[in-house]
Amino acid sequence: MPDVLLTEDDGKVRILRLNRPEKLNALNTELTRAVHDALLEADRDPKVRALVLAGNGRGFCAGADLSEFSHLIPDNPAAVLERADLTSRTQSQLRELSTPVVSVVQGHAVGGGAGLAIGADMTVVATDVRFGYPEMRHSIVPAVVMTGLQRQLGPKLAFELISLGRMLTAQEMLDLGLANRVAEPEQALEEGLEIARRWAEASPLAMAATKSLFHRVADLPYAEAMRAGRDVNVIMRGFRERR
């Protein structure tokens, strides 16, 4: 049976590829756990300075694998809670890692797959991308992905996407600030690798502090954010170490 997640190192960059192409890389428990564990493992590996998250095949990720839902029934609350916790931790993990992550997104990126796509620190989308949150069509609440989407888009457009299931094109994602780059499908991975390779040139301590402070100040009032920046500014001079 093939691995559901493929791992490859390109120098100091680790590439993680979702590998259920026959299911458009839909997130079953096995794949979700594999992504969760691989992200943690890479973050602990001093040889890894940057991460690329991509999908194998025609799509990045078709969201949750609905065929598993019949096993996650109210009569089995432990399984329901365990899966919900795993999904939530995996979605939030991209932001919490010290290592920067760029997602490379082609084809369908929907539901939980859309959450992974924009949860990365930077996002490269292929021109064939179809991005959105169609959960309501299946009477499912897009609960876990709602927080990240609303923070990146604001309430009006975010509610439109999750309540109407509107799909976005690559150009719309770029215009709305959900993507950093648009590339042809055959060039998207190289575009993501170029970003990751540039990250890998930086001091890992400086990069980790930059990423941590960036997300921290986003959640703070202005004065507190400036104080947090001042504190890091004082200690950052110790980051001038060998790379």
List, for residues 57-82, the tens digit of each pLDDT value: 999 999 988 877 666 566 666 767 78
Phi/psi at 102 (nearest 5 deg)?
A: -115, 130
pTM higher than 0.75 = yes
Which residues form the catalytic set? 135
The whole-number pLDDT of residue 83 equals 80
Q: Which fold has domain 5-199?
A: 2-enoyl-CoA Hydratase; Chain A, domain 1 (3.90.226)
Residues sharing a CB contact under 8 Å with residue 62, sequence separation 6 or more, in sequence order? 23, 24, 25, 26, 108, 110, 111, 113
Q: Give counts: helices (H), strands (E), the chain.
A: 9, 9
pLDDT band at 194 (very low <50, low <70, confident <90, very high): very high
* 233 against 176, higher pLDDT: 176
